[in-house]
């Protein structure tokens, strides 16, 4: 079917501005991805899946300029013992990175990987699976044109987290990174991500977790107020495996985080959570699609957004329970705390269930600060500003508590607290 002209033009213009990297072993996957992009067309304002978020600046050939942000604080996860992998405006920085060697974990740079590589069976494969039933053309574009990224193979319990650090140094950088992670049976890893990455960042991560594997993911997206990001994670879980992901977003003019999770083995667990704090020119979109395709799996989606001065929060979350996925336990909550009347929260929670013995619940709320609670705190001597902050942190707590590691929880809470304090001036 032909694409609408406007979509065709936008897609052509974007493709014309990009050159296919010499991908070696990934060339076929990349060419197929280009075909997918041509076929689907890049997102447009009319697309149902982009109803609440304008994709134009993510699609246009050049990245809109984004000023660099002078952070007046220590970088996040600074205290964590971790293996650091640094990208500057989307380019791997060997100098700034640690030695990519760690017990039970093999890490290769996407560009350097040998022709016979495990990632060949995954690169673009999970992304392709994630294109049904909803199209995610920016992810296909990523598979085709990613210039860098890492391939992480986990064969046992990793001694420390792998920390992906994305630095932003050029005001016009347009970065496309693609990572592939394979967690073998019984293996375990924590991946940390932080940093603004670029003026415009398109990041895709494909994750395959074998039976009994465990992957924790904690991300603090960069705080450069003008940066834009479209990220997608495609996760496939085997039986009794665990995937837990948490994302903190503070600032950023535009963020679209897609999370596509497929529970393909029995008794698997997937928790995805997000907390965001937005002030002013801030648009944050969490789009989640969780497919239950096995017995007795558990999924949780916990998303909390604090919005003020005209900030916008979006949540599109779906639980699809396939035929036969009995005993599914699916939970989804999305909530916003609107600190003024100019801010808005748009939510589209969806359940689609084809099995009869399942427990799925979902809820979405939008509310202001609890006046009763605020007065109670103030009556004990806590000033209005700090009292509001306490209630705000409390509102976000359900999402932050999804992080299993308590020191990482503290780290994230500390960041939110600092952000709130700064905003009060």
Partner 1 sequence: MLEIKNLHVKLEEEDKQILKGVDLSVEAGKVHAIMGPNGSGKSTLSYVLSGRDGYEVTEGEATLEGEDILDMEPEERAAAGLFLAFQYPVEIPGVGNMTFLRTAVNSQRKARGEEEMSAADFLKMIRAKAKELKIDADMLKRPVNVGFSGGEKKRNEILQMAMLEPKMCILDETDSGLDVDAMKLVADGVNALRDAGRGFLVITHYQRLLDHIKPDVVHIMADGRIIKTGGPELALEVENNGYADLLAEVA
| Of 280 and 386, CB closest to partner 1 | 386
Is residue 402 within 8 A of residue 412, CB to CB? The reply is no
Q: How far is the CB of 386 from partner 1 (least distance, A)?
A: 7
Question: In whole angstroms, what separates CA 128 from the centre of its chain?
Answer: 18
Residue 28 tokens, joined? 């076929």
- Segment 185 to 224, residues that bind partner 1, using CB under 8 A: none
- Segment 388 to 417, residues that bind partner 1, using CB under 8 A: 390-391, 393-398
For residue 355, give the 3-state DSSP assignment: coil
| Of 233 and 248, CB closest to partner 1 | 248
**Cα dist from 329 to 32, 292, 325, 355, 371, whole Å:** 36, 9, 10, 12, 34
Burial 52-91 (b: 16+ CB within 10 A, else e): bbebeebbeeebbebeebeeeeeebbeebebbbbbbbbbb
- Give the count of beta carbons closer than 10 Å to the beta carbon of residue 288: 25
Residue of 129, 160, 378, 423 that binds partner 1 (CB under 8 A): 378
Q: How far is the CB of 381 from partner 1 (least distance, A)?
A: 4
Q: How far is the CB of 406 from partner 1 (least distance, A)?
A: 13
| Of 186 and 373, CB closest to partner 1 | 373
Residue 50 tokens, joined? 């982009």
- Give the count of beta carbons closer than 10 Å to the beta carbon of residue 22: 9
Q: How far is the CB of 399 from partner 1 (least distance, A)?
A: 11
Is residue 349 within 8 A of residue 362, CB to CB? The reply is yes
| Of 81 and 372, CB closest to partner 1 | 372
Residue of 22, 72, 95, 381 that binds partner 1 (CB under 8 A): 381
Q: Which of 219, 222, 267, 279 is nearest to 242 (CA)?
A: 267
Residue 12 tokens, joined? 């052509």
| Of 6 and 418, CB closest to partner 1 | 418
Q: Is 99 left (phi over 0), alpha (psi -120 to 50) or beta?
A: beta
Number of chain residues interacting with partner 1 (CB under 8 A): 24
Q: How far is the CB of 398 from partner 1 (least distance, A)?
A: 7
User: How big is the chain by its Cα radius of gyration, in Å?
Assistant: 21
For residue 9, give the 3-state DSSP assignment: helix
Residue of 115, 356, 380, 406 that binds partner 1 (CB under 8 A): 380
Span near partner 1 by CB under 8 A; candidates 29-37, 66-74, 173-181, 382-390: 382-390
Q: How far is the CB of 85 from partner 1 (least distance, A)?
A: 34
Span near partner 1 by CB under 8 A; candidates 80-88, 243-251, 268-276, 383-391: 383-391
Q: How far is the CB of 323 from partner 1 (least distance, A)?
A: 38
Is residue 218 within 8 A of residue 412, CB to CB? The reply is yes
| Phi, psi of 162, rounded to the nearest 5 degrees | -95, 130
Residue of 47, 386, 405, 423 that binds partner 1 (CB under 8 A): 386
Here's the x/- map for partner 1, 321-360, by CB under 8 A: it reads as ----------------------------------------
- Segment 358 to 377, residues that bind partner 1, using CB under 8 A: 370-373, 375-377
| Of 48 and 372, CB closest to partner 1 | 372
Assess 384 for contact with partner 1 (CB under 8 A).
yes
**Cα dist from 191 to 97, 224, 267, 378, whole Å:** 15, 22, 23, 40
| Of 355 and 397, CB closest to partner 1 | 397
Assess 132 for contact with partner 1 (CB under 8 A).
no
Residue of 5, 19, 132, 379 that binds partner 1 (CB under 8 A): 379
Is residue 399 within 8 A of residue 304, CB to CB? The reply is yes
| Of 355 and 391, CB closest to partner 1 | 391
Q: How far is the CB of 410 from partner 1 (least distance, A)?
A: 12
Assess 273 for contact with partner 1 (CB under 8 A).
no
Q: Is 417 exposed, middle or buried (0-12, 13-18, 19+ CB in 10 A)?
A: middle
Q: Which residues bind partner 1 (CB under 8 A)?
A: 370-373, 375-384, 386-387, 390-391, 393-398
């Amino acid at each position: 079917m032909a694409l609408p002209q406007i979509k065709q033009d936008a897609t052509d213009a974007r493709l014309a501005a990009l050159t296919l990297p010499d991908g070696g072993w990934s060339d076929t996957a990349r060419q197929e991805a280009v075909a997918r992009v041509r076929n689907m067309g890049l997102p447009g304002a009319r697309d149902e899946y982009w109803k609440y978020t304008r994709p134009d600046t993510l699609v246009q050939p050049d990245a809109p300029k984004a000023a660099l942000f002078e952070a007046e604080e220590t970088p996040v996860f600074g205290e964590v013992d971790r293996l650091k992998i640094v990208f500057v405006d989307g380019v791997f920085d060997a100098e700034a990175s640690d030695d990519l060697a760690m017990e039970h974990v093999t890490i290769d740079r996407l560009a350097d990987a040998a022709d016979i590589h495990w990632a060949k069976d995954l690169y673009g494969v999970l992304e392709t699976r994630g294109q049904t039933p909803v199209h995610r053309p920016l992810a296909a574009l990523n598979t085709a044109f990613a210039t860098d990224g890492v391939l992480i193979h986990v064969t046992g319990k990793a001694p420390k987290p792998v920390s992906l650090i994305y630095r932003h140094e050029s005001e016009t950088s347009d970065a496309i990174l693609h990572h592939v992670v394979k967690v073998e049976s019984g293996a375990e890893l924590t991946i940390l991500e932080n940093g603004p990455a670029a003026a415009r960042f398109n990041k895709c991560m494909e994750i395959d977790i074998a039976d009994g594997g465990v992957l924790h993911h904690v991300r603090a997206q960069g705080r450069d107020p003008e940066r834009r990001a479209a990220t997608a994670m495609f996760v496939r879980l085997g039986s009794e495996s665990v995937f837990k992901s948490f994302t903190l977003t503070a600032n950023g003019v535009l963020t679209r985080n897609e999370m596509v999770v497929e529970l393909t083995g029995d008794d698997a667990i997937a928790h995805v959570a997000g907390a965001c704090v937005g002030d002013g020119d801030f648009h944050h979109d969490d789009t989640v699609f969780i497919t239950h395709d096995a017995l007795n799996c558990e999924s949780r989606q916990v998303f909390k957004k604090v919005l003020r001065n005209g900030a916008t929060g979006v949540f599109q979350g779906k639980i699809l329970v396939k035929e036969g996925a009995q005993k599914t336990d699916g939970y989804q909550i999305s909530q916003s705390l609107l600190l003024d009347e100019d801010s808005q929260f748009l939510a589209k929670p969806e359940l689609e269930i084809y099995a009869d013995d399942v427990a799925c619940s979902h809820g979405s709320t939008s509310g202001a600060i609890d006046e009763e609670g605020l007065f109670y705190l103030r009556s004990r001597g806590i000033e209005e500003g700090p009292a509001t902050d306490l209630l705000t942190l409390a509102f976000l707590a359900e999402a932050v508590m999804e992080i299993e590691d308590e020191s990482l929880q503290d780290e994230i809470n500390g960041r939110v607290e600092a952000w709130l304090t700064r905003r009060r001036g």
